Amino acid sequence: MRIALVGNPNVGKTTLFNALTGAHQEVANWPGTTVEYVVGRVRAGGDGADVELVDLPGTYALSAYARDEKVTRDFLLYENYDGVIVVVNAASLERNLFLVLEVLELTPRVVVALNMVDAAEANGIHVDAEALSHRLGVPVVPTVAAKRKGLQELLQMVRRVAEGSLVPLRSWPVPYPEELREMLQPIAAEVASTPVGQRLRPEWVALRLLQGDEDVIRHAQVVPQGRQAVNLALSCCAQQAGLEVELGGQAVALDPALHRHLRSQQSEFELAIADAKYAHIAEMVVSCVRRARVKRTRTEVLDQVFLHRFWGYPLLAVIFFVAFWLSFIASAPLSDDVGNLMAWLGRQAAVALGHAGAAQWLQSLVVDGLFAGIGAVLSFVPYMAIFFAIYQILQDSGYMARASVLVDRLMQMMGLHGKGFFALVSAYGCNVPALAATRVMENHRDRLLTNLVIPFIPCNARLGVMAVMTAAFFPGTLGAFVMLALILISLGVVAGAAMVYRRTVLPTEPAPLLIELPDYHIPSLRNVLIPTWHRVWMFVSRIWTWLLWATIATWALTYFPVGQPVDQSLAARLGHLMAPVGQWYGFDWRLMIAILFGFVAKETTLSTLGVLYGAGSDGALAHLLTQSMTPLVAFTYLVVYMLYVPCLSTVIQMRRESGSWAWTAVGIGVNVTVAFGLGWVLERLLMLLTGAGG
């Protein structure tokens, strides 16, 4: 049997899902963590059928606009399932019950999971589950998903509801006022005889028709009786609006003035319906919720500090600075250790191969190709692990939601949507999930805009390469400032690009920003470690899919023709083709090749450079690099490298998110242009400033 998990954002659906299925889906204290639906299996313990659980993105209502919310609505409307678990947050029951009522109107096979009862009790809120169950007419099971409490009861209950052995009641979960009922009932009766009415609950369809839900109208109109119901709903609107026109679907579509009139009437209905729901909820809350007023909750106290009108901002800067420092500077020794370990292994392998009498080319492949390449990639793991762990802590504690409130004004100036902040920060980890994270935005243009600027943000792999090169060229504290300068340049480019896009091709007001501020809590080890492990593993497993082949290809391009020095190799010939471009910047052919190959995956850059400079696997690359170019050229190279083009995976993801190759091409084109354009300007400027001359 198939059970859908729905609920408001951030109520613990995924936590519940993971606890029941043993899956490791990402959980965070941030509304909008899940953006796609995920299916998992709960093994039945001896009796009964297996339960298939579907984790859906959070939503406030079933009239959803954002793409992730539409996933939930479409699932509930058009997919098959045997029951629904509506997860509610006991601490803000009033708002959560709205969705419960919406779902109840759609299907009676509902069990309510009254989640986060622990947090609610801590805030002095006690919910009487029994009483609530009586009022709603469906089972209500108290749970603490994070501590695996109440899960078995929930599962049992939902089994019984889905099997039909426990039959919930009443056809109208909300006692609508008489005048609304008089209109709804005939429409529902009409709908009941149509295929739509047999699939979906007629009451719900009637409500939606009266509110002018376009999607439902379209579906209803496919059959004659359905059209009749639609017309009935329209004539109700017309009567209310004081119109005396003979209504047919056609006539309404034709006359814009009439249409406007009807639209306004439909929003009146919408208001009346929402009002009736909330009135009903208020009444339920009075009888089911007891509130002991605590002086000040922990969240209120912390917000006094973190959201302080003045101190909130420096605090934000410090927190993010520390996060970056820990990830990219403090982790450097760890990363060196990994690199050294691989180099040592490489040397051992060389010795072993030498003893075994392996061919020269095989030795070269293993030592210069494989160990050097894989070593370079694995040395990114410490960066990634620390970055993602910190990121996850910031998010699961609830701070990230506050940070997005603090920076919202800035985002607004750039024309970016406030919810994009989260995507932008996560882009520093990896651009690919960041692109997917934009799905929480309602407005297509807001999403597209954010998608177009995300690739300007250097991901972990790029930052890692930058950190290594910076350390080589700008030793000591100077290096930290250079890194800071690079990150500021990328931020400037993001802001500039967003403003330009907003003013030119994507001119809309960003959709309204509404961020629910979740309660702070101490991040759970599980919520930090599992996603971190997940990301690191994804990265490491790319070694097999891309990197191994890229490394071997690079090695082959430099090794052949056999016996020639590197600057006579195939790679060199390819590189010389690009040399004219490189000349402008003072990049030699090797740097150009590294840029080109970086497209496959940015983390190959170091190993590519290693192979091209003949550095082997013993960490001589830094030295060789400083020999072959000036710090100025290196800085320009870093800027170009940071901005020029996202990797292949990012391009594929961008295509997926934007749904268009044209926009993807625009994104890439702008990336390349800006990177090389800015690089050129910088190079000239730096030349002038240092007086080095042409």
Partner 1 sequence: MHAKCSDCSVRAVCCLADLQVNTAARVASVEGHPAFRQRMLALGITPGSPVTVLRAMPLGGPMEIEVRGTRLAIRRDDAAGIRVATP
**Which residues form the interface with partner 1 (CB under 8 A)?**
60-61, 63, 65, 91-95, 98-99, 263, 267, 270-271, 274-275, 278, 303, 307, 309-310, 312, 401, 405-406, 408-409, 412, 418, 442, 511-517
Q: Quick one: which H or E segment has residue 550? A: helix 548-559
CB of 291 to partner 1, least distance (A): 9
* CB neighbour burial string for 51-87, b if at least 16 within 10 angstroms, e if fewer: bbbbbbbbbbbbbbebbbbbbbbebbbeeebbbbbbb
The region that residue 37 occupies, defined by phi over 0 for left and psi between -120 and 50 for alpha, beta otherwise, is beta
- Determine the Cα angle at 647 with ends 643 and 652, to 5°: 125
81 binds, among partner 1, ligand GTP, Mg ion, none (CB under 5 to 8 A by kind): none
CB of 208 to ligand GTP, least distance (A): 23
Please say whether the beta carbons of 315 and 321 come within 8 A: no
Q: Which is nearer to partner 1, 112 or 342 (CB)?
A: 112
CB of 392 to ligand GTP, least distance (A): 10
- Name the one range near ligand GTP by CB under 6 A: 111-119, 295-303, 592-600, 638-646: 111-119
**CA 194 – CA 159 distance, rounded (Å):** 29
- Determine the Cα angle at 411 with ends 405 and 416, to 5°: 120
Structure tokens at 365: 């492949």
Site residues for Mg ion, 14-73, by CB under 5 A, read 14, 33-34
116 binds, among partner 1, Mg ion, ligand GTP, none (CB under 5 to 8 A by kind): ligand GTP
Q: Quick one: which H or E segment has residue 89? A: strand 83-89
**Closest by CA position to 145, among listed 526, 517, 515:** 526
Q: Which is nearer to ligand GTP, 68 or 603 (CB)?
A: 68
CB of 282 to partner 1, least distance (A): 8
**Closest by CA position to 75, among listed 3, 167, 161:** 3
**CA 116 – CA 142 distance, rounded (Å):** 8
CB of 58 to Mg ion, least distance (A): 6
CB of 271 to partner 1, least distance (A): 7
Q: Which is nearer to partner 1, 442 or 603 (CB)?
A: 442
DSSP 8-state secondary structure symbol assigned to residue 513: P
Q: Which is nearer to ligand GTP, 426 or 636 (CB)?
A: 426
The region that residue 212 occupies, defined by phi over 0 for left and psi between -120 and 50 for alpha, beta otherwise, is left
CB of 55 to ligand GTP, least distance (A): 7
Can residue 145 be called a binding residue for ligand GTP (CB under 6 A)? Answer: yes
Coil vs helix vs strand at 86: strand
Can residue 404 be called a binding residue for ligand GTP (CB under 6 A)? Answer: no
CB of 85 to partner 1, least distance (A): 20
Q: Which is nearer to Mg ion, 8 or 33 (CB)?
A: 33
Can residue 115 be called a binding residue for Mg ion (CB under 5 A)? Answer: no
Can residue 527 be called a binding residue for ligand GTP (CB under 6 A)? Answer: yes
CB of 81 to Mg ion, least distance (A): 18
Total residues belonging to the chain:
694
**CA 174 – CA 87 distance, rounded (Å):** 19
Coil vs helix vs strand at 495: helix
Please say whether the beta carbons of 96 and 59 come within 8 A: no
CB of 145 to partner 1, least distance (A): 19
| Contact string (CB under 6 A) for ligand GTP, positions 41-80, x = contact | ----------------xx----------------------
First-to-last CA distance in the chain?
73
Among 3, 6, 33, 155, binds ligand GTP (CB under 6 A): 33
Can residue 10 be called a binding residue for ligand GTP (CB under 6 A)? Answer: yes
Coil vs helix vs strand at 126: strand
Site residues for ligand GTP, 408-437, by CB under 6 A, read none
Q: Which is nearer to ligand GTP, 9 or 373 (CB)?
A: 9
Can residue 392 be called a binding residue for ligand GTP (CB under 6 A)? Answer: no
Among 62, 119, 353, 571, binds ligand GTP (CB under 6 A): 119
**CA 591 – CA 138 distance, rounded (Å):** 66
CB of 398 to partner 1, least distance (A): 11
Can residue 29 be called a binding residue for ligand GTP (CB under 6 A)? Answer: yes
Can residue 135 be called a binding residue for ligand GTP (CB under 6 A)? Answer: no
Concatenating the DSSP letter of every residue in 163-214 gives: HTSS----S-SS---HHHHHHHHHHHHHHHTSHHHHHS-HHHHHHHHHTT-H
**Closest by CA position to 372, among listed 625, 543, 618, 626:** 618
Q: Which is nearer to partner 1, 267 or 690 (CB)?
A: 267
DSSP 8-state secondary structure symbol assigned to residue 428: T
- Name the one range near Mg ion by CB under 5 A: 5-13, 125-133, 395-403, 586-594: 5-13
Can residue 141 be called a binding residue for ligand GTP (CB under 6 A)? Answer: no
Coil vs helix vs strand at 436: helix
- Determine the Cα angle at 626 with ends 625 and 629, to 5°: 85
Q: Which is nearer to Mg ion, 16 or 140 (CB)?
A: 16
Footprint on this chain of ligand GTP (rule: CB under 6 A): 7, 9-15, 27-29, 31-34, 57-58, 115-116, 118-119, 144-146, 396, 521, 524, 527
